[in-house]
Structure 1
Amino acid sequence: MSSLLANVDWSEIAQAALDTLTMLGGSLVFTLVIGLPLGIWLFLASPGQLLERPRLYATLSVIVNILRSLPFVILLIVMIPLTVLLIGTSIGVGGAIPPLVAGAAPFFARLVENVLREVDRGVVEASQSMGATTRQIILHVLLPEALPGLIGAATVTTVALVGYTAMSGVIGGGGLGDLAVRYGYQRFQTDVMAVTVVLLLVLVQCLQSAGDRLVRRFTRK
């Protein structure tokens, strides 16, 4: 086993892992900041909800569906001009973050919408009967009641982002995916490919386990 890994540059592996964590952390923050409000608006504007707006809901749904339906590799390429405009480059860690957010935020928003639909309608109606405003219902009823589901949605999105970061290596996005493409695919160094795969699997498992623990902690018994 040690002979198989003798040619692995562990310093480069460490830097690639750090780049992956940086991409994941940066894109996750923007995904949550954009996706959560978008998901709330999708829920509120949908038919039969507090702020029913059919046209707004239809518009938001079309945007979300378009971004969700594009394969991420294609989205990476399509967004290159916009990424260069925003970041100044389309490669490296910084260049990967805009398409990561564009791919993950709509996905998270739709999950948020579905989670909020699961909140007991009676609790919302009771709050309305007591004179609560829409803002109060969102902050003190919907979000607290849906918290375990929202944490689960964030966990699913985070795991998906790990896969997206790996795919960003196709256009030189950096991280473990880029390392796997350059060494494992282009140079046929299967040892490097194996290490990157194992590290990605470990990262996904750790993230999923942490998310599951948080869901159990905040689930009301």
Structure 2
Amino acid sequence: MRDLIVQWLTAVTAQFWQSSLSMDQFVTALQETFQMVFFAMIFGGIWGFIQGITMVLTRPKGILPNRVIYHGLNPLINALRSLPFIILLIAVIPLTKFLVGSSIGTWAAIVPLTIYIGPYMGRLIETSLLEVNEGIIESAQAMGATPAQIVFRFILPEARSSLILNLTTATISLIGATAMAGVVGAGGIGDLAVSYGYQRFDSSVVILTVVVLLILVQLVQMLGEWLAKLR
């Protein structure tokens, strides 16, 4: 089995060097993928944490119950999460042009990626925070802690491992979305698969992009599981 895997990787590598794709193009595409994931995770993470914490605080049995905010934000998150990314990518083109001046390119893709991952992360963060034992919150309230202190000194530290694992899941989902964004000229690994693999009938490039994405996902998953176990 091991020899078969080695032979397959050797064949793929040989085909890659014979393809129309250069190493510089591959490295550039990889950098574009990292850029999209990094900035979309930062902006989407900020948005997601605000959503998740707000949902937990304002829910009917929350620390600061507020029916207007909760029942207004909840369907908005559900609506954005229900949109397929490719449709969202097209729907926000006017907003993308307004913010970055173009609807094509790596920076343009970060806008729909942020809108896509923000609500998704918000729901995951809400789920992690709701897993915290209610006794911890009641103890914090009994000690006179403010809502902000309850969130940042009690709930978030207790939900740390679950948050890391859920954020890992969100990152993997985002990597898949960046590959899809490449279909419309956003750059990155997905763009290589379409422009140099599919359109030029070069199967070696398609295989290479699949292998690279699999490796990226596996590395992210391993890193998330390692961080979740740290104390």
- Matching of residues 90-169 of structure 1 within 5 Å: 90-169=103-182
- 2:15 maps to what in 1? 4
Note the alpha carbon deviations across 1:85-111, whole angstroms, 9 max, x for none: 001111111000010000001000001
The amino acid of 2:28's aligned partner reads Q
Q: How does 1:169-208 map to 2 (within 5 A)?
A: 169-208=182-221
- What is the aligned partner in structure 1 of residue 88 from structure 2? 75
Q: Structure 2: how far apart are the matches of 1:79 and 1:184?
A: 28
The separation in 1 between residues aligned to 2:147 and 2:223, in whole angstroms, is 32
Letter in 2 for 1:145: E
Structure 1 distance, partners of 2:67, 2:183, is: 39
Secondary structure at 1:4's aligned position in 2? helix
| Shift in Å, 1:3 | 4.0
Once residues 40 and 156 of structure 2 are traced to their aligned partners in structure 1, the CA distance between those partners, rounded to angstroms, is: 22
Using the alignment, how far apart are the partners of 1:184 and 1:110 within structure 2?
36
Count how many residue pairs are aligned between Structure 1 and Structure 2: 218
Normalised TM-score (structure 2): 0.92
Cα distance in structure 1, aligned partners of 2:200 and 2:78: 37
Give the corresponding residue for 1:86.
99
Q: Does 1:60 align with 2:69?
A: no
Q: Which residue in the other structure is 1:39 paired with?
A: 52
Whole-angstrom distance in 2 between the partners of 1:200 and 1:40: 32
Deviation at 1:205, TM superposition (A): 0.6
The structural deviation recorded for 1:187 is 1.6
| Runs of 4+ in structure 1 over 4 Å off | none
Unaligned runs of 5+ in 1: none
- CA displacement 1:5-31 (0-9 Å, x = unmatched): 211422211110111011111111111
Q: Which runs of 5+ in 2 are unaligned?
A: 1-10
Q: CA deviation at 1:55?
A: 1.9
Equivalent-residue separation in structure 1 for 2:115 and 2:207 (angstroms) = 29
Q: Which amino acid aligns with 2:211?
A: V
